Structure 1
Amino acid sequence: MTGRPEPPAADAPAERLTVPLPGGAELAVFHRPAPAGAPLVVLWPALGVRARFYRRFAGALAAHGPGVAVVDLRGQGDSRPVPDSSARYGYHELATVDYPAVFTALRSRSPGSPVFLLGHSLGGQIGLMYAAGNPAGLDGILLVAAGTPHYRSFPGATALIPLLGTGTMAAVARLRGYWPGDVLGFAGRQSRVLVGDWARAARSGRFRPAGADVDWERRIAALRLPVLAVSVGNDRLAPRSAVDALCALMPDAGLARWHHAEPLGHTAWANRPEPIAREIGRWIHSTLAGEPWHAPAGGGHAVP
């Protein structure tokens, strides 16, 4: 037989991988392989969102051709250990330890495949840091409902959501030793350093995480990779203005912007995945072919 290999079925089971980290921590990765040479998309979740939540989206995206891997962030979902007062990792450690370990493991399983990073919310913020430090290792960046948490990028009174919300979380985390989101019902249990980095970015708009020994903002500003940034209707945690503000941090990137106007909010888009999965598939194909991508009719725009 000849022709293009068939993509994996949308309901094909994902293979669970374990990626070890220094110090004994482990990251859980759920990988849907694709035919040899097909693109690989690695999805990094929002804070407190398990990798398994994206199962429907991963299946829809895989049906458009790429292999898809979804990662449980450190301490979330099936990753171990669950953070306690001894946890001392934040944005910097995830960008310089966790993300590289996962990409190294997956590249060894998909040699020769173009590799794309897909970040949702905080997963996209840290993803930009990783990409800025490893631009040669990626073929493009996908951001879905990922904006800066800076309160000034939020419209009107909604600016109080990131300002007061993250500030309160950081204060509780300092007193408790970690953020007890598993008890309080928001964002899962988290390292106090990670929550502190998030709150600092919300107050200042700067990516200056604790313990960083590099100028992340300068590196992000120098990114020249292709980027597709998607905002979603009725998203109070990453409104269009916050997504635009995050995109503005990388003026030299090959940016395409699309607003998916359906009012799905910050996470529900993953349960109604086809429109976004389809456009990501189209954008990846256009990017690899060196052809222009055009936003679908009914909203959004492409930026040259």
Structure 2
Amino acid sequence: MIQSKPDSSVDIRPAAIRCSDGVVLGGHVFRTARPDPIGMAIVNAATGVLARYYRRYAGFLAAHGYDVVTYDYRGIGASRPARMRGCGYRWRDWGELDFAAALRFAQGEARGGPVVVVGHSIGGFLPGLAENAADIDRMLTVGAQYAWWLDYVAHRRLGLFAKWHLAMPVLTAAFGYFPGRRLGWLEDLPAGVAHEWSFRGPRFERSHPRRERRRALERMAAVRAPILAVAVADDEFGTAPAIRRALHYYRGAECTAVMLRPADYGRETIGHFSLFHDSHAAGFWRDSLRWLHDGANPWPDRVISG
């Protein structure tokens, strides 16, 4: 049940999350003031987005009874190496190593209750790559997809293809990493991450070496947590085909996809990013608690098939 009066006294402290390969990720733990937390939530960021973008949503969850972990993937923000060129980090590492470590860390910090994941964009797909993803109890994904360009919204597809699948690999080759910050195109990205995005095909497992593909698919299928996948009608990346393509790999999970419209929240636009802006605290954020707390779909009239 949703807590009627949120507690604003949330304790926030930095966290160092050690991965199995020795890489240490920077993050934060948000401790609810409740002595009996509802559970532990992990917030997974979108590609090229700092974890601090989600700090208000994390604080909202903590004020409503959750302990929360946020973190930056390797190569981003508080987890950025001293030298980006040649760091060797890949997109798949964010799931296989980084999320796996964040989940172990969260389990160690948990004071009871289920472990839930809120994943934005690639952050809703990466959990399935972790060997311990079967430990997740529930997932909420927002615009979750893995950037196959033919899933982009039709009227923007060619422009997005030119930006992310032509310009990005050229710039990455020139700089040794993708200089997104100086361009105003999200954060800088390690070359391996940028190239996986640029050259991703319709089947994500093809970005793995052939001998590792079956195992990647098995990990995705091993997830049993129910998933509520949120799409927004004016999201140029997280279209209905993109959401369905990502959910297809979670074969062992009960998946429900919903398509929200900006007008549902009195907006003209929402797009790919703004649901995590605090202007949505009284709307989408509060609705999301119904799923995270009780497993109840807050938008039963917005379910999309497929």
Task: For 1:86 and 1:228, locate their aligned partners in 2 and report how far apart those are by CA, in whole Å.
Answer: 37
The more displaced of 90-99 and 155-164 is 155-164
CA deviation after TM superposition for structure 1 residue 111, in Å: 4.5
Residue aligned with 2:302, SS:
coil
Q: How does 1:1-304 map to 2 (within 5 A)?
A: 9-10=7-8, 12-21=10-19, 25-34=23-32, 35-82=35-82, 84-130=84-130, 133-168=131-166, 169-201=168-200, 203-210=201-208, 213-215=212-214, 216-221=216-221, 223-262=223-262, 263-271=269-277, 272-274=279-281, 275-287=283-295, 293-296=296-299, 300-301=302-303
Residue aligned with 1:213, SS:
helix
Task: For 1:154 and 1:84, locate their aligned partners in 2 and report how far apart those are by CA, in whole Å.
Answer: 29
Q: For this pair of structures, how many residues does the alignment match?
A: 293
The Cα RMSD (Å) is 2.9
AA partner of residue 286 (structure 1):
D
Task: For 2:99 and 2:190, locate their aligned partners in 1 and report how far apart those are by CA, in whole Å.
Answer: 17
State the TM-score, normalizing by the size of structure 2. Answer: 0.83
Task: For 1:295 and 1:24, locate their aligned partners in 2 and report how far apart those are by CA, in whole Å.
Answer: 40
CA deviation after TM superposition for structure 1 residue 143, in Å: 0.7
Check conservation: 1:295, 1:302, Cα contact below 8 A: no
Task: For 2:105 and 2:297, locate their aligned partners in 1 and report how far apart those are by CA, in whole Å.
Answer: 33
CA deviation after TM superposition for structure 1 residue 162, in Å: 4.6
Task: For 1:155 and 1:94, locate their aligned partners in 2 and report how far apart those are by CA, in whole Å.
Answer: 26
AA partner of residue 193 (structure 1):
G
CA deviation after TM superposition for structure 1 residue 139, in Å: 0.5
Check conservation: 1:7, 1:62, Cα contact below 8 A: no
State the TM-score, normalizing by the size of structure 1. Answer: 0.84
Check conservation: 2:115, 2:137, Cα contact below 8 A: yes
Task: For 1:183 and 1:11, locate their aligned partners in 2 and report how far apart those are by CA, in whole Å.
Answer: 37
* Distance change in 2, residues 1:218/1:36 (3 Å): same
Task: For 2:55 and 2:231, locate their aligned partners in 1 and report how far apart those are by CA, in whole Å.
Answer: 20
Check conservation: 1:117, 1:142, Cα contact below 8 A: yes
AA partner of residue 97 (structure 1):
L
* Distance change in 2, residues 1:5/1:119 (3 Å): closer
Residue aligned with 1:208, SS:
helix
CA deviation after TM superposition for structure 1 residue 228, in Å: 1.0
Superposed CA offset, 1:105-136 (max 9, x none): 22111144311122111222222322xx3243
* Distance change in 2, residues 1:101/1:40 (3 Å): same
Gaps in structure 2 of 5+ consecutive residues: 263-268
AA partner of residue 268 (structure 1):
S
* Distance change in 2, residues 1:273/1:41 (3 Å): farther
Task: For 2:233 and 2:139, locate their aligned partners in 1 and report how far apart those are by CA, in whole Å.
Answer: 21
CA deviation after TM superposition for structure 1 residue 193, in Å: 0.7
CA deviation after TM superposition for structure 1 residue 5, in Å: 8.8
* Distance change in 2, residues 1:294/1:112 (3 Å): closer
The more displaced of 20-29 and 31-40 is 20-29
* Distance change in 2, residues 1:18/1:159 (3 Å): same
CA deviation after TM superposition for structure 1 residue 88, in Å: 0.6
CA deviation after TM superposition for structure 1 residue 85, in Å: 1.4
Residue aligned with 2:84, SS:
coil
* Distance change in 2, residues 1:243/1:26 (3 Å): same
AA partner of residue 165 (structure 1):
K
* Distance change in 2, residues 1:66/1:22 (3 Å): closer
Check conservation: 1:120, 1:145, Cα contact below 8 A: yes
